Structure formats: C-alpha cells, structure tokens
Amino acid sequence: MLPRFKFALFILFLGSCSTDSFVFEGLDATYPEMQFPLDNPANPDAAKLGERLFFDPILSIDSTISCGSCHKSEMGFATNDAVTPGVDGALGKRNSPSLMNVGFQPYFMREGGVPSLEMQVLVPLGDETEMAHNVVDAVRRLNRN
C-alpha cells in the first residue's frame, strides 16, 4: 500500500512541475477604458516621477511622512489601522483606503467631494493631521531639492 501512495505522490509532484508561467495580458473586458485628462496624459516619465514623490517624505511639513507611509504597497496601498498618524504623530480623521484601481473612480473621499484624482492628491498634503504642508511651499521645496 505504501509504495502505491509514494508513486501517486510522485506523479502529483511531477504534474506540479510545469514550465508554463503566468503572463499578464492586460485587463479583462469587464474593466472600462482608463480615462486620462486631456491636459494630463499618461506617460512613463510622469509615472516615474509620481512613484518617487509617492514614497518621498519631502512633501510633509517636517519631511517625515510620505504617501507611502499610510498607503503601504505590501497591503494593497492601504493600511489596517483605523487611522494612521501624520506629522508629529497626529491622528487623521479617516482610514487610508486602498489605492488599487483608483484611476477608475469618478469621485474621491467618502462623500465624493473631490472631483478628480489630480485634486485628491492635494487633500492629505494640506491636512494638518496628515502632511500639514502648503502646496506652494511644497513645490518650492521640491524645486530646491
């Protein structure tokens, strides 16, 4: 009986040793076409800059908090905290929602008060419990850096 079991286990093992690898072939047909603003088309250089800024704490008033501090890539660009601490340990008013597929959303914030993704990025920047920075000063700091 034991030799048959070992043989069956061996056959199962061989069957699992496939050389086929998963190839991502794009979004399936159920996803809508991603819409980009006419004045802000997608391009690789902008994506690289966006990634650098997302993980750079320079945007917070004291250079300690980045977008990635609350939207953790290993957690689907979210966090499991009810609210996350911002500058000086101040607790925010909301949890950090996942950023997965955020480009498909027409409005932002729970109540839909922010009409575009481009405007949404300014909300945590100016919030006193998150990054507590002024947009103009943040741009000046980026230009100096």
Given this model, what pLDDT does residue 9 score? 56
* 65, 130 Cβ separation under 8 angstroms: yes
Would you say residue 70 lies in a domain?
yes
34 and 104 in contact (C-beta within 8 Å)? yes
pLDDT at position 2: 57
**Does residue 134 lie in a domain region?**
yes
At position 79, the amino acid (one-letter code) is T
Q: Does 112 map to a domain? A: yes
Please give the residue range of the domain that contains residue 82: 44-144
In a domain, 58, yes or no: yes
Q: Is residue 26 part of a domain?
A: no
Considering the domain boundaries, does residue 20 fall inside one?
no
Token pair listed for 63: 């250079």
CA–CA distance, 78 with 70 (Å, rounded to integer):
7
The answer to whether residue 15 is domain-embedded is no
- Looking at the 3D structure of the chain, how many domains does it have? 1
Q: Would you write out the chain's pLDDT as a tens digit for each of its 145 residues?
A: 556 655 555 555 555 555 555 555 666 777 778 888 888 888 889 889 999 999 999 999 999 999 999 999 999 999 988 988 999 999 988 888 899 888 888 888 877 788 888 888 888 999 999 999 999 999 999 999 8
Residue 113 CB neighbour total at 10 angstroms = 11
Instruction: Say if residues 70 and 96 touch (Cβ distance below 8 Å).
Output: yes
17 part of a folded domain:
no
The CATH number linked to 53 is 1.10.760.10
